[in-house]
Structure 1
């Protein structure tokens, strides 16, 4: 298969979201003296992650708005320990969103792989992230220069794996389906979504998944493997 167009997920595929987010949360935790309410940062973060996962599912199902998602996920850990201070939650939420896009950690070999691919293919971002953050994160990581277009779920109000978002991305980039490949770390969003529209997929298995409902076109343990495939 000769590809011309490569669609990359951003968070935890290229930009190291999990590491950058945890670092930012720990900064905010100490800045706002949250150890007065929690046993430890790990205690706080486990409460946040559990509710955040649930809220993203609700957001993906159009049960809550982006604003409600952000309000609830920052307030919940405080409410869980009986310190539901909405003003405090709003303050560290605002601070978090100001700081996180300045973080620059990338996934292993991300920049060298993009350098290799950018002269050979049309590179695009296809992400569920928020518009006000994604561009800044790409700039902080020094990878914005490799991409010809950034397609976000915010563009049409639907998240991957919605087929409409994939079709929109193809149309917006004037890409042919048979010449396109989706590369991402989320099985449900990236791989299921691409497969649903008949697009080839490369699953970056950062989570160490061992069971698959179907075989992806490519299975990656390291982004560097793309230089051997493409």
Structure 2
């Protein structure tokens, strides 16, 4: 199978860079910095309120139903509004602090560095992410993995998010990659896998959340990045 692919397009957040863990750690620092114990019973209460709304808003953002500005305004204001705190200045301040802290975090998904070391040189590696330009490059640098990638392609470059076909065609064009020689690796079935399938690109679904009901069978499915050693 090694000879079949030349180009690997890899999602960043929660595929290589441990976004969920790093975000939680960043919010824990923000919670203390802004004394949110005044408003919430615990950090767990705050973070569960934030996460529930944040997840829904990202679905809307990925499908182009809301803007980046609306996403950020809504997800950061929501937890405080839920406990009766309507303070736009506080929301802006803690949002700014979060964005200052999170790109400094270094946690990677299990075995990510070993897998990148294995793939490097055998394939042309590219990041394909819906994340924000001002954060993604800094995340890669903080984690020490920026050197593995020939190019970082972000949805903001085209103002179109995965799973839209345009961002995949843009990525192929920007990297001079042939579709039949390309493979998408990601943890989001709805954006990475469905999007790649929509343009006829093979996919590896990194199913670390052990999702059981899938709308269709991806080209490949792995529960651990270590399975890429045998697959690729």
TM-score (norm 2): 0.97
Q: Secondary structure at 1:46's aligned position in 2? A: helix
Alignment of 1:1-230 (within 5 A): 1=1, 2-230=4-232
Structure 2: 5+ residue runs without aligned partners? none
Contact 1:76/1:84 (8 A) holds in 2? no
SS in 1 for 2:110: coil
Q: CA offsets, 1:86-144, max 9 Å, x none?
A: 11111110010011000000001101110110110000000000000000000011110
Please list the CA deviations of residues 4-27 of structure 1 after superposition, one character each: whole Å capped at 9, or x if unmatched: 000000000000000000000011
Provide the rounded CA distance (Å) in 1 between the counterparts of 2:29 and 2:69. 23
1:129-164 CA-to-partner distances (Å, cap 9, x unmatched) read: 000000000001111000000110001111100011
Q: CA deviation at 1:63?
A: 3.4
Q: What is the SS of the residue equivalent to 1:125?
A: strand
Q: In structure 1, what is the Cα distance between the partners aligned to 2:119 and 2:63?
A: 34
What do the CA deviations read for 1:14-52 (whole angstroms, capped 9, x no partner)? 000000000000110011000110111111111111211
Over the aligned positions, Cα root-mean-square deviation in angstroms equals 1.0
Of 137-146 and 42-51, the range deviating more from structure 2: 42-51
Task: Give the paired residue count.
Answer: 230
